[in-house]
Amino acid sequence: MIDPKTKRSEVPEELTWNLKDMFDSDEAWMAEYESLQQLPAQILAYRGRLGESAETLLEFLRAQDELELRFAPFFGYASCKNDQDQADARYQDMRGKAMSCIIAISSAASFATPEIMAIDEDRLNLFYIAQPELETYRRSLYQIRRRKAHILSPEEEKLLAAAGEMAEAPENIGSVFRNADLKFPEVEDSRGEKHALTGGSFVPLEESADRVLRRNAFEALYGRMGEYKNTIAATLDAQFKQLRFFAGARKYPSTIEASLDRTEVPVEVYTNLIEAVHANLDKMYRYVRLRKKLLGVDELHMYDVYTPIVADAAQKIEFEEAKATVLEALSVLGEDYVALLKEGFENRWIDVYENEGKRGGAYSSGNARPHPYVLLNHKDTLDSMFTLAHEMGHALHSYHSCKYQPVCTSDYVIFVAEVASTCNEVLLMRHLLSKTTDKKERAYLINHFLDSFKGTVYRQTMFAEFELMMGRMSEAGQTLTAEALCEKYLELNRLYFGPDMVSDDLIGLEWARIPHFFYNYYVFQYATGFSAAVAIANRILSEGAPAVADYKKFLSGGCSTDPISLLKIAGVDMSSPAPVDSALQLFGELLDEMEKLGE
């Protein structure tokens, strides 16, 4: 592991991602940037012509595919360069140029959707007959035409596309503030030793067995957040105002309906999740009581929720060991899957450790052209090993979709985005549990699994409920002030953690450090994805090869059909409450075993 305050230029190359697979140099990227400036005029040459013939429509759609193949590495390179050191002005500028280029081309192509909408159904059917190769695009064309009520005139679409760059501002400002400008004081442990506190080191510090260190880190982080709460609240208020603007412009009654309609997910899936979790809060309260008992504290505080509840069982897991364990755990997915994992590990798909200015958290780039890229802030902990498995799940999902789908249906929707990543985590946990009968080690692992449930099903549903509250407040004309957000968040925290948790007032500021509130109703899919992943992992482990084959069909499905149908291929029906109920039932069973181990 390296010091989090290491300068980017001092990080060993083997611990960084190899961006030369996209562009050999910044100069090569700039040459592509200059070349892309010609595209708006080329796209505009098709304006007014998409309905004239099957040949013209096919030619335009193929040109769109070629553009996507160029844009993936173009934007990916700028984005990754910016994320590896967000204080570097060169790459802030490069990412800004990439976004401006995307907006310019989107604006030029804004005529396409209304023109495709305007093609008569009988005429479009004749197009399919005249040009059978248009069948490749049938699903994409359906996706456009099904939203006819929400598509505007060509001029209005052009205006909305041009407004897209401004709509990025709240998220971009929030990200730069959290990752580049916001600094935290060092914090002391019970021995008086000082520790660096950063956005990336906060959770590892909260995992410490040293309660003084945990409390000091908690108070220092949220205390500093509190100093800027009005600024952060203003960015969230701006975020929901821009969501309202686009939802209203497209004639949606609410921001959540505008968001979920894009992925063909009924709003009821979102609200039903919240209701299902509310109905199972008794299990969460049992978990809190068990944590309080096993930690042996008179009061359980919010700075006590990350630390393992099994003393002296935490292990340091070097990155090399983490990779080896992940490979072993995921061998149930077949030799071809393991070979891809090894390729990613050996050919620098991953940026491993935190450095000064690096974006916090972890992600997979979301595209696989030329291959996926994964950002980590690895801490040599069990949690970091699970993060590695999680993000490589995303990466290989993208790899399969891009390899087996045509360009136009290779980008899977966010509703299924967390399934592959979480399935990897469940398989890793089941693997680790299968290798030990030692009570202490088993209890440590079950605690981690329980924490995964708490963090993914309960906590992300709490986030989803808070986001829904923010949307409704904004739509009712309320300003999202820091005071109002703290009050609502603290109220929800008390509901979800129950009477045995001291919901410290400072936890009311947690919303200020959560980047996902800028992701447009994204977080609920962590909870639904986790539930689906539990069901898929259980099927893989119990049925073997047939389940693995179905799962790989799902991974290779992209957006070739709606997400509910895709998951049915893998044997999961998310239109029913069964997967969520099953996941929460497993949570209860794990609690039963943990309670016995703790006796």
Kindly provide the residue ranges of all beta strands, DSSP E only, lying in 102-207, ordered along the sequence. 187-188, 194-195
Catalytic choice (115, 206, 354, 391): 391
CA separation (Å) from 280 to 283, 287, 494, 536?
6, 12, 15, 22
Crossing angle between the packed helical segments 524-543 and 459-475, to the nearest 10 degrees: 150
Q: Do strands 300-301 and 501-502 pair parallel, antiparallel, or not at all (unpaired)?
A: parallel
Note whether 442 and 512 are within 8 A (CB).
no
What end-to-end distance do the CA atoms of the chain give, in Å?
37
Q: How far apart are CA 8 and CA 119, in angstroms?
A: 52
Kindly provide the residue ranges of all beta strands, DSSP E only, lying in 121-252, ordered along the sequence. 187-188, 194-195
Q: How far apart are CA 324 and CA 585, in angstroms?
A: 31
Among the listed residues 281, 204, 268, 270, the one whose alpha carbon sits nearest the alpha carbon of residue 454: 281
The question of whether 391 is a catalytic residue gets the answer: yes
Beta bridge partners of 113: none
Burial 498-537 (b: 16+ CB within 10 A, else e): bebbbbbebbbbbbbbbeebbebbbbbbbbbbbbbbbbbb
Q: How far apart are CA 587 and CA 347, in angstroms?
A: 37
Which residues, other chains included, contact 458 with Cβ-Cβ below 8 Å and sequence gap of 6+?
277, 284, 496
Give residue 556's Cα distance to chain centre.
19
Note whether 197 and 185 are within 8 A (CB).
yes
Q: Quick one: which H or E segment has residue 364?
A: strand 363-364
Note whether 533 and 419 are within 8 A (CB).
yes
Q: Is the dihedral of CA 75, 35, 21, 4 positive or negative?
A: negative
Q: Is the dihedral of CA 461, 464, 468, 474 positive or negative?
A: positive
Q: Quick one: which H or E segment has residue 363?
A: strand 363-364
Which residues, other chains included, contact 373 with Cβ-Cβ below 8 Å and sequence gap of 6+?
17, 19, 76, 80, 349, 350, 351, 364, 365, 395
Which of the residues are catalytic?
A: 391
